[in-house]
Structure 1
Amino acid sequence: MSDDVEPWTVERHLAAASAPSAALYERLDAVLRSFGPVRVSVSKTAVTFKGTRRGFAGARPKGDGLVGYLDLMRRLPEDPRIRSAVPYQRNLVVHQFRLLEDADLDDQFVAWLREGYDVGCGAHLQA
Structure 2
Amino acid sequence: MRAPQIIWVVDDDPSVRSGLSDLLSSYDYDVEIFESGASLLEHASEAQPDCIISDVQMPGMSGVEMFLRLLSAGKYVPTIFITAYPTPELQRQAFASGACAFLNKPFMARELTAAISTAVRNVRG
On whether the aligned pair clears a TM of 0.5, the verdict is no
TM-score (normalizing by structure 1): 0.40
Identify, as 1 or 2, the structure richer in helix: 2
TM-score by length of 2: 0.41
- Identify, as 1 or 2, the structure richer in strand: 1
Larger Rg: 1
